[in-house]
A and B are shown apart, each in its own frame.
Chain A
């Protein structure tokens, strides 16, 4: 399968009845890129993937591989590989025949197909299990078969639909590294769907953050992590403290905090506008002399304590600190201006 230079999604839209599952997705994927589609469940990320794979027809828009229009082709003629959330291994075929299936469908000569199948099985370390049926494998092994089956045909694009969501935490970390390693070694262009921000940040070259079927932000992990485009992305990227307030002069007044804070504004904010100030729990600093809060809940997280604290006015804040805290403690906290992002509400 020949590769491509760019794959372009042009206003890709999918409606289910009256509901818009995905609205106007524009995206350009370059060869060799690892793109993560990120968002909470129901945001349209799986819809986007299925549209790309050809398993769902588009309601509107088009998909182009270099100069060729793709969205009118059936899935079997797009030449993409796909890893399904439940793996979708053929239960009646051995691991070897599962992996060889795509090659057989593409009419690859027998000797070459056998060699490539064995290579792919070796790539995912399943040599000893090649003769087994999928039902005899563990979840992680099944996952690896699914990956081998998708990459053996050397697809121009690999689509992965939450491939790690059925694995336990330890295996998930291992497979994450494995997938990233495969991507680096084979240079496979990959579109990866996940709801796990950590997974997306650690694996992808670029993130596409979706919410309610609309793109919220497209950027590198660093851009999305440090400069979320709006409050929804911030919320999703771990800014657990979202404080409603108002813009006054050159400061922001947080309603319930009764204090003025300075922060970094994202987007256009005029004086008097309602705003949302966002800060990550780990960026909230404990400082004697800051405004006073009472510790309500303290969770032990190893090196850190994650605490839920309440201000004298009843506003709840989340913070993380290495300092030992106990419920009922009164401490002073500070919200550093460069870490406090202020969004239009």
Chain B
């Protein structure tokens, strides 16, 4: 190889252009074929309704309260569920940072629900929390309630389902963010006179907050696309008629693909709005290194 081409190669490599870039090809093909193309296709379909102009499907979605309200319904389920998952994961992960006997077993127990799948979880919830399930039988027999408490086929059934499947995910993420924080920082704070609450709120939490924002976004996206549990343990024609149910009905009950695609695009847009708000707030936080110095 001549020195000129070598020099040219060197210049390119300095800008990050080298043969290793070929390693990105499979991922790029994957993203284009399975995400970008369907996404653009969906937009195109949503803009070609059978009747009316290009935006007729969107107009129909937003003028019909029955469709429009699914946005609020979905947010009302997914935002609290995602928030609960993140907030519940923090103290548990905080307690589980260090090494202790039985940590692995406890982690497995906390993480197993992620492997169960929504249908199994829903079935469990129906059996456990249903009108004749263990939970209500205990309540009735101990006299804590005189009528079965309704926790399935309504908002709470879906909420519990989202917590069971979403919590392990949030927990694993928070645990890994927490383990990235140098433990000597809290020890330093302790020698400076900070009690546990001050150590947590002044040192650990500010360093953890950006990670919590990311975790919230991911669990929110999972919860926002809730479909199986909204139908199985929810009330899919009423209080848990989420946006994915609306899209499903449009596509496979009314065979109106434009309306279904429009619902899906609206869904994506709402998610994007929530995530940009959270990430915007995150950028106001300290997001640098969580180490205490050289070491």
Please indicate whether A and B come from the same complex rather than being unrelated chains. yes
Q: Given B190, B193, B289, B290, which contacts A55 in the complex, CB threshold below 8 Å? A: B190
Within A140-197, which residues are at the interface with B (CB < 8 Å)?
142, 146, 149-150, 153, 159, 166
Assuming the A-B contacts A91-B207, A92-B207, are A86 and B292 also in contact, with contact meaning beta carbons closer than 8 angstroms in the complex? yes
Stretch at the interface among A101-109, A112-120, A276-284, A300-308: A101-109
Encode contact with B along A99-136: 1 for CB under 8 Å, 0 otherwise.
00110011000000000000000000000000001110
Assuming the A-B contacts A166-B294, A166-B295, are A88 and B182 also in contact, with contact meaning beta carbons closer than 8 angstroms in the complex? yes
A87 near B187: Cβ-Cβ < 8 Å: no
A86 near B191: Cβ-Cβ < 8 Å: no
Query: In the complex the two chains form, what is the Cα distance from A105 to B190 in whole Å?
Result: 10
B194 near A86: Cβ-Cβ < 8 Å: no
B-side contacts of A81, CB under 8 Å: 191-192
B190 near A76: Cβ-Cβ < 8 Å: yes
B-side contacts of A86, CB under 8 Å: 182, 184, 291-295
Q: How far is the CB of B101 from chain A (nearest CB, A)?
A: 12
B194 near A88: Cβ-Cβ < 8 Å: no
A79 touches B (CB below 8 Å) = yes
B194 near A89: Cβ-Cβ < 8 Å: no
Q: Given B191, B203, B294, which contacts A90 in the complex, CB threshold below 8 Å? A: B203
A-side contacts of B193, CB under 8 Å: 76-77, 79, 102, 105-106, 153
B-side contacts of A341, CB under 8 Å: none
Query: In the complex the two chains form, what is the Cα distance from A142 to B291 in whole Å?
Result: 12
A-side contacts of B294, CB under 8 Å: 86-87, 139, 142, 166
A74 touches B (CB below 8 Å) = yes
Query: In the complex the two chains form, what is the Cα distance from A86 to B293 in whole Å?
Result: 5
Q: Given A53, A89, A91, A92, which contacts B191 in the complex, CB threshold below 8 Å? A: A53
A316 touches B (CB below 8 Å) = no
Query: In the complex the two chains form, what is the Cα distance from A134 to B292 in whole Å?
Result: 8
Q: Given B187, B198, B207, B286, which contacts A88 in the complex, CB threshold below 8 Å? A: B187
A91 near B290: Cβ-Cβ < 8 Å: yes
B114 touches A (CB below 8 Å) = no
Q: How far is the CB of B292 from chain A (nearest CB, A)?
A: 4
Query: In the complex the two chains form, what is the Cα distance from A252 to B206 in whole Å?
Result: 67
Question: Which among A84, A91, A135 has the greatest number of chain B C-beta atoms within 10 A?
Answer: A91
Within A47-89, which residues are at the interface with B (CB < 8 Å)?
53-55, 74-82, 84-89
Q: How far is the CB of A208 from chain B (nearest CB, A)?
A: 21
Question: Which among A105, A135, A139 has the greatest number of chain B C-beta atoms within 10 A?
Answer: A105
Query: In the complex the two chains form, what is the Cα distance from A2 to B249 in whole Å?
Result: 75
B292 near A88: Cβ-Cβ < 8 Å: yes
Query: In the complex the two chains form, what is the Cα distance from A38 to B215 in whole Å?
Result: 46
B288 near A102: Cβ-Cβ < 8 Å: no
Q: How far is the CB of B186 from chain A (nearest CB, A)?
A: 9
Query: In the complex the two chains form, what is the Cα distance from A54 to B195 in whole Å?
Result: 13
B185 touches A (CB below 8 Å) = yes
Q: Given B195, B286, B295, which contacts A76 in the complex, CB threshold below 8 Å? A: B195
Q: Given A55, A80, A105, which contacts B198 in the complex, CB threshold below 8 Å? A: A105
A-side contacts of B289, CB under 8 Å: 91, 135
Question: Which among A78, A101, A133, A150 has the greatest number of chain B C-beta atoms within 10 A?
Answer: A101
Query: In the complex the two chains form, what is the Cα distance from A102 to B294 in whole Å?
Result: 21
Encode contact with A along B163-192: 1 for CB under 8 Å, 0 otherwise.
000000000000000000010110111111
Query: In the complex the two chains form, what is the Cα distance from A332 to B295 in whole Å?
Result: 48
Knowing that A74-B190, A91-B292, A133-B286 touch, tell me 17 more A-B residue pairs with CB under 8 angstroms. A53-B191, A54-B190, A54-B191, A55-B190, A75-B187, A80-B191, A82-B187, A85-B295, A86-B294, A87-B294, A88-B185, A88-B292, A89-B292, A91-B289, A91-B290, A146-B293, A150-B192
* A contact set with B: CB distance below 8 Å: 53-55, 74-82, 84-92, 101-102, 105-106, 133-135, 139, 142, 146, 149-150, 153, 159, 166
Question: Can you list 8 A-B contacts (CB < 8 A)?
Answer: A54-B191, A76-B191, A84-B292, A91-B291, A92-B286, A101-B202, A135-B288, A153-B192
